[in-house]
Amino acid sequence: METNIINPPHLTPKDFTSNQEVSWCPGCGDYSILKQVQSIMPETGREKEDVVFISGIGCSSRFPYYMDTYGMHSIHGRAPAIASGVKTTRPDLSVWLITGDGDSLSIGGNHLIHLLRRNIDLNVLMFNNEIYGLTKGQYSPTSPTGKVTKSTPMGSLDHPFNPLALVAGADGSFIARAMDRDTKHLRQVLLEADQHRGTSFVEIYQNCNVFNDGAFETFTEKDSKPETTLFMEHDQPLVFGENGNKGIYLDGFQPRVADLTNGSFSKDDLWIHDKFDKFKASMLYRFFGNEIFDQDLPRPFGVFYKRNRNTYEVDMNEQLDRAIQAKGAGDLDALLRGKNIWEIK
């Protein structure tokens, strides 16, 4: 994964660490994510006063307290609206939105999709633990069907969201997935997300060791990880398995697993990942269980898709400049009256 890292300034990760005691449960995956975010901050080349962290409600939303930057712990599901306001009025700031699967995909669902379609230049980190942790273990929009929780004692009947497919449906311009326990890879994804101009959305598999322990262990444990995870690199074949002994190839529009050890396939036969290819990315989002394709496929991690398109805050401020130049300070009364005026006699 290529990243054009800016030479670090005089700051260190410690400079981005606040004096607040971290109050997550011992063993929570949030600690790992916090550590990696703090570690990349000096490499973005920004001063602390030029960075803002905004969160909603949930365990993940304590994040701004632990960053020695500007920040706001806002209200449930509304962090995208507040972050949008910050970025559009201060385009010079680096804005990070911290949210969870419940905060962003339930009460905050509409706010999230409108942020994505507008393509405001900020970074969304969605901590997905497939549970409501702060309110003590109710099922969430990403909990799998049949999940037994305090609010679904007989098992959830809801079909879970596929977060990245939802983001793609809202025309997200940077779509990625990482995990809390692969810190080197997480760090690379965070750096690339920061460099993207537009809304960067990173889903992070995060273990809630109290209310949903082991939800992603098949992707994180040493024995199972090689067979179940696919780490994508741009312009490289999709290879996975122990010592890279397997790969993904396309049989028409069906992705299939190739065995690279028996001579039937080589790396030249495999699907080459192109993070600028929207149509192939739409297939990769669906490597999610076996509902779509007729074969069990590994779960992809990395940057699925990115594209450059206009950002909302730039277009908005250019429009304001044009309005001011055309009519000076403007006439608020005329604006409120509009063009459709009737005179009653």
DSSP 85-128: HHHHH-TTSEEEEEEEHHIIIIITHHHHHHHHHHT-S-EEEEEE
Rg (CA), the chain: 22
The verdict on residue 167 lying in a domain is: yes
**CA 293 to CA 255: how far, in whole Å?**
8
Q: What is the mean pLDDT of residues 293-307?
A: 94
E-only strand ranges, 129-228? 174-179, 200-205
The verdict on residue 125 lying in a domain is: yes
The verdict on residue 60 lying in a domain is: yes
Q: What is the pLDDT of residue 331?
A: 72
CB-count exposure of residue 57 (10 Å: 0-12, 13-18, 19+) = buried
Query: What domain range is 61 assigned to?
Result: 13-220
Q: What is the pLDDT of residue 329?
A: 62
pLDDT at 5 over 80: no
Q: What is the mean pLDDT of residues 327-340?
A: 72
Per residue in 253-274, is it b (16+ CB within 10 Å) or e — as a string? eebbbbebeeeebeeeebbebe
* Cβ 37 vs Cβ 190: under 8 Å: yes
Q: What is the pLDDT of residue 292?
A: 82
* Cβ 165 vs Cβ 286: under 8 Å: yes
Residue 18 identity: S
* Cβ 55 vs Cβ 74: under 8 Å: yes
> Which of 23-32, 118-127, 273-282, 321-330 shows the lowest per-residue confidence on average (mean pLDDT)?
321-330
The verdict on residue 325 lying in a domain is: no
pLDDT at 7 over 70: no
Q: What is the pLDDT of residue 328?
A: 62
> Which of 93-102, 269-278, 317-326 shows the lowest per-residue confidence on average (mean pLDDT)?
317-326
The verdict on residue 111 lying in a domain is: yes
Q: What is the DSSP string of 12-55?
A: -GGGGB-SSPP-SPTT-THHHHHHHHHHHGGGGT--GGGEEEEE
Coil vs helix vs strand at 171? coil
In this structure, the dihedral spanned by the alpha carbons of residues 46, 92, 114 and 147, taken in order and rounded to 10 degrees, is: 20
The verdict on residue 122 lying in a domain is: yes
Residue % of the chain over a pLDDT of 70: 96
Report residue 207 as tokens: 């273990």
**CA 215 to CA 236: how far, in whole Å?**
29
Tens of pLDDT, residues 226-244? 999 999 999 999 999 999 9
Higher-confidence position of 326 and 185: 185
**CA 272 to CA 265: how far, in whole Å?**
14
> In which band, very low, low, confident or very high, does the pLDDT at 291 lie, cut at 50, 70 and 90?
confident
Find all residues with CB under 8 Å of 111, minimum gap 6, and list them. Answer: 77, 78, 79, 80, 81
SS3 content of the chain, % helix, strand, coil (to 5): 35, 20, 45
Crossing angle of the two packed helices 79-89 and 109-118, in degrees rounded to 10: 30
The verdict on residue 199 lying in a domain is: yes
Q: What is the pLDDT of residue 213?
A: 96
For the domain that residue 104 is a member of, what is the CATH number? Answer: 3.40.50.970
Q: What is the mean pLDDT of residues 181-205?
A: 98
Q: What is the pLDDT of residue 173?
A: 98
Q: What is the mean pLDDT of residues 143-168?
A: 96
**pTM of the model as a whole:** 0.93
> In which band, very low, low, confident or very high, does the pLDDT at 4 lie, cut at 50, 70 and 90?
low
The count of structural domains within the chain is: 1
> In which band, very low, low, confident or very high, does the pLDDT at 136 lie, cut at 50, 70 and 90?
very high
* Cβ 186 vs Cβ 179: under 8 Å: yes
Q: What is the pLDDT of residue 91?
A: 96
Q: What is the pLDDT of residue 212?
A: 96
> In which band, very low, low, confident or very high, does the pLDDT at 320 lie, cut at 50, 70 and 90?
confident
pLDDT at 214 over 70: yes
The verdict on residue 113 lying in a domain is: yes
**CA 58 to CA 38: how far, in whole Å?**
20
pLDDT at 330 over 70: no
Distances (CA, A) of 149 to 61, 103, 107, 144, 204: 22, 18, 19, 11, 22
